[in-house]
Every structure is written in C-alpha cells, then in structure tokens.
Amino acid sequence: MEQKLWGISELADECGVTTRTIRFYEDKGLLQPQRVGSNRVYNYQDRARLTLILRGKRLGFSLEEIGEFLALYHTERDPAHSSQLRYLLEKIQAKVKQLRQQQQDLEQTLQELTRIETECLSHLQTPEND
C-alpha cells in the first residue's frame, strides 16, 4: 500500500499555516521531509509531527521543549511511551502553574486599573473640573 505524501503547499493548507512556517520548523530540526528531486514531500509521520508542533506552540511551549518531546517519542523504545508521558506531564504541570500565576497577576492589574479609572471618572465629574 502506497503511503500518502503531501507537498509543502498542500501540507501548509491542510494544517492552516504558511509554507514559511513549515520551512522554519525544518530549519529548527523539528521536521525532516523526504525529497523527491528538489521538492519536499511529507508523509503521515511528518504531518503528525507538525500537528504536535502546532499544538505545543498553541499551548505555550517553546520550540526547544517541543523538540525534546518529539525526540523522546522518536527514540523511545517503550511501547507505552512512559518516559514521554512523564516528560509531558511535568511540562504541563509547570505550564499550568505559570498560567495560574499570570492569571492572578492579570486579575490584580485589572482591579487596580479599574480603581484608577473610577477615581479618574469621579474626579472629572466634580464641578471644579467642568
């Protein structure tokens, strides 16, 4: 059975990214397409890797972290992928902690800005400021 292959434009369209984005991930060593002549061709594994890269970026992981995760998957001999799952869990827990702290910081900033806004509006509504 012949495996489906995508050209760079087809893969970019299917994944909702630009060809430049795909080439960037290649330059970073995260994707390694095959070549047919001078054309890049991507197989199902490449497509899956790109999907994982995009998900990792959307979740706020660095390219280095994504690369480490992909390298574990590629070299891991454990069929249950325990090392990969432990690594992912550790990174997820750290990201959740970071995001919760950012959420607290944002809430505090919003409260302070709202208080200042109220004070400004109140001050502008006094008769001596007309």
pLDDT tens profile 56-93: 999 999 999 999 888 876 655 666 778 888 888 999 99
Q: What is the pTM of this model?
A: 0.73
Question: What mean pLDDT is predicted for residues 26-44?
Answer: 92
Query: Collapsing DSSP states into helix, strand and coil, what is residue 126?
Result: coil
CB 56 within 8 A of CB 91: no
| CATH number of the 1-75 domain | 1.10.1660.10
Indicate whether 105 pLDDT > 80: yes
Helix (H) or strand (E) holding 2, with range, is none
Give the tens place of pLDDT for each residue, 40-51: 899 999 999 999
User: What are the CA-CA distances from residue 84 to residues 64, 114, 116 (Å)?
Assistant: 15, 44, 48
Q: How confident is the model at residue 108 (pLDDT cuts 50, 70, 90)?
A: very high
